[in-house]
Amino acid sequence: MSRPFLKMNGLGNDFVVVEALSAPFAPSAEEVRAICDRTSGIGCDQLVVFEPAEGADARVRFWNADGEAVGACGNASRCVGWLLMQASGRGSAIMTADDRTLQAFAAGDRRVTVDMGKPGLDWRDIPLEEEMDTRGIELQVGPIDEPLLHTPGAVSMGNPHVVFFVPDAQAAPVREVGSLIEHHRLFPEGVNVGFAQIKAPDRIRLRVWERGAGLTQACGTGACAALVAAHRRKLTGRKAVLELYGVELEIEWREADDHVLMTGDIAVEFTGVLP
């Protein structure tokens, strides 16, 4: 059976989105890689499928371009939330992803806020291989006496993140060390790697090496993790604008309930049918 799809993006972080509310869709890892391949396939950072869910508008599943299933993607959740709100005519939508419940809200024309829930801050939440203070874990890149990068914060947003604080995000060695850190022994499930430059107490410049996808234009959960990690180090307040390749996300770590909210634009690029 032919399967329609939407090509969408959240601030340049792009997805192939498949609706499976009426008929199941369970791609193999090989099929995911074929769809995501930018040369021979449709090309995207992630494949996203939304399907029926009890007590919610949809259950959302995510696969990285390498074919691995992952637990969360903030920008993709905003895209699916927008589609669900368009279909229902309501100003909000509820999604489930693994063991998390995500709520999306309309925030303007093709602009969506997603409540990403509480961040995981215990070393077992990330998870790490051994117990550490996640405000600054024992990890460095480069010579012991003069490391290039060191002591990143670690945060789970439904997927694992480490965030290095750097003087210049544009000059950070994202491609050179991203894969090395992603597969470091400290992270049994791999890790997304953020390079954050604090420009002001309410503004962060961020680049992200995404687990299973490489350098991406924007990473929603990475932006959430960067704000949480920065606030825990007293580098920012609880709300900041995250700059990612010329586009911006608004992130707030709400004090009242400990939830992280992410707001930004979404775009529909084109539609098609999976081969």
pLDDT in tens, 215-258: 988 899 999 999 999 999 999 999 999 999 878 999 999 999 99
The H or E element containing residue 102 is: strand 100-106
Q: Which residues are catalytic?
A: 73, 219
Residue 112 in any domain: the answer is yes
Specify whether 153 is located in the same domain as 75. Answer: no
Residue 220 in any domain: the answer is yes
Of 71, 130, 70, the residue nearest 100 (C-alpha)? 71
Model confidence band, residue 186 (pLDDT cutoffs 50, 70, 90): very high
Structure tokens at 159: 């997927």
Specify whether 153 is located in the same domain as 254. Answer: yes
Task: Give the C-alpha separation, 230 to 94, whole Å.
Answer: 28
Average pLDDT, stretch 192-213? 96
Of 170, 168, 220, 173, the residue nearest 192 (C-alpha)? 220
Residue 158's domain spans which residues?
Answer: 140-258
Q: Taking the alpha carbons of 25, 26, 31, 35 in that order, is the dihedral positive or negative?
A: positive
pLDDT tens by residue, 86-141: 999 999 999 999 888 999 999 999 999 999 999 999 999 999 999 999 999 999 99
Specify whether 98 is located in the same domain as 174. Answer: no
Residue 134 in any domain: the answer is no
Specify whether 182 is located in the same domain as 109. Answer: no
Domain count, the chain: 2
Comparing 66-80, 112-126, 174-188, the range with the smallest average pLDDT is 66-80
Distances (CA, A) of 253 to 74, 167, 192, 198, 226: 14, 23, 19, 16, 11
Q: Amino acid letter at 4? A: P
Task: Give the C-alpha separation, 79 to 191, whole Å.
Answer: 23
- CATH number of the domain residue 183 falls in: 3.10.310.10
Taking 60 as the threshold, does the pLDDT of residue 1 lie above it? no
